[in-house]
């Protein structure tokens, strides 16, 4: 058996092995020292109203990549329906420059996102999640968005535009509508990121995603080839299994792990 600090680090690296797709790779410095958490690490802080009574979504975007109003309006509506926030869900927009060249890695998103954050994720009674909309694409250019820690997401507008289907069905705006809800679904811990669902609805080949094409958490939603899977309307809502998971996490009937805060 491997012993000592090196052995501990090796075991942690195995434990923190990345999920496929749009949940970004772990970063040992983040996980061990900076305590930014993993996607789903602030799930209970969102679902519960006992300490954090308001949720702010900070949107930091580069010129030409501000998200569609329909996307952010839909996101606020979906979060209001699942997160207990008596003082509301607000969207805050900030134009910025990330000063980044080339493709983006999960570490790039994490570092540039935290550099741009206006507020800490937990401050007073306010919970803040951040979505950055940078120029450029992810290192796997088939990925439209990525969640990299408990409060940080990136969505890649160039790839979203390229994901539009034939004859604009689905349109780039419709793709963005779905992707933004999908990625925030990962911050909510979906699917099985920080818990184990009693329902068998995780895709066996795409961990962290739903196997139901009617769920916004369906694995293909975050793929540039999404237009090949859907020729019409894209799902934009959590399905019943997703909602049951969130309800179970909120009432404690489903146990959760890796939480930065518990009620």
Strand, coil or helix: 12: helix
Structure confidence at residue 137 (pLDDT): 97
Structure confidence at residue 168 (pLDDT): 79
Buried b / exposed e along 54-83 (16+ C-beta atoms within 10 A): bbbbbbbbbeebebbeebbebbbebbeebb
User: 20-251: what CATH class?
Assistant: alpha beta
Neighbours of 88 (CB within 10 A): 12
Do 46 and 151 meet the contact criterion of CB atoms below 8 Å apart? no
Nearest residue to 104 via CA among 43, 66, 182, 157: 157
Structure confidence at residue 224 (pLDDT): 86
Quote the tokens at residue 63: 């010129």
Structure confidence at residue 27 (pLDDT): 63
Q: Is 113 left (phi over 0), alpha (psi -120 to 50) or beta?
A: alpha
E strand or H helix at 58, and its extent? strand 54-61
Please state the domain extents for the chain: 20-251
Strand, coil or helix: 133: strand
Q: What is the pLDDT along the chain (263 residues), one digit of tens a residue?
A: 434 443 333 333 333 334 546 887 666 555 545 689 999 999 999 999 889 999 999 999 999 999 999 999 999 999 999 999 999 999 999 999 999 999 999 999 999 999 999 999 999 999 999 999 999 999 999 999 999 999 999 999 999 999 988 877 899 999 999 999 999 999 999 999 999 999 999 999 999 999 999 999 999 999 888 877 776 789 999 999 999 999 999 999 999 999 999 98
Structure confidence at residue 138 (pLDDT): 97
Structure confidence at residue 169 (pLDDT): 81
Beta-carbon contacts of 246 under 8 Å, excluding residues fewer than 6 positions away, are 47, 82, 188, 189, 190, 238
Distance in angstroms (rounded) separating the CA atoms of residues 244 and 100? 40
């Amino acid at each position: 058996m491997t012993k000592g600090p090196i052995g501990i680090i090796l075991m942690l690296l195995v434990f923190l092995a990345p999920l496929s797709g749009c949940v970004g790779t772990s970063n040992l410095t983040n996980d061990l020292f900076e305590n930014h958490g993993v996607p789903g690490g602030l799930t209970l802080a969102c679902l519960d109203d006992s300490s954090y009574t308001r949720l702010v979504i900070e949107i930091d975007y580069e010129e030409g990549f501000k998200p569609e109003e329909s996307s952010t309006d839909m996101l606020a509506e979906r979060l209001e329906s699942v997160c207990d926030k008596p003082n509301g869900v607000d969207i805050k927009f900030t134009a910025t420059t990330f000063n980044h060249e080339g493709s983006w890695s999960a570490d790039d998103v994490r570092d540039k996102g935290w550099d741009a954050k206006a507020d800490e994720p937990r401050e007073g009674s306010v919970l803040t999640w951040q979505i950055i909309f940078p120029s450029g694409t992810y290192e796997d250019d088939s990925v439209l968005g990525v969640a990299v820690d408990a409060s940080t997401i990136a969505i890649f507008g160039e790839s979203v535009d390229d994901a539009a289907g034939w004859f604009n069905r689905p349109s780039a705006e419709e793709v963005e509508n779905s992707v933004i809800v999908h990625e925030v679904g990962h911050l909510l811990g979906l699917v099985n990121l920080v818990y184990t669902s009693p329902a068998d609805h995780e895709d066996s080949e795409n961990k962290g995603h739903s196997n139901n094409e009617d769920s916004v958490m369906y694995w293909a939603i975050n793929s540039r080839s999404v237009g090949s899977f859907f020729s019409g309307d894209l799902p934009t809502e959590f399905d019943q299994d997703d909602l049951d998971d969130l309800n179970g996490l909120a009432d404690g009937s489903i146990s959760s792990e890796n939480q930065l805060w518990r009620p």
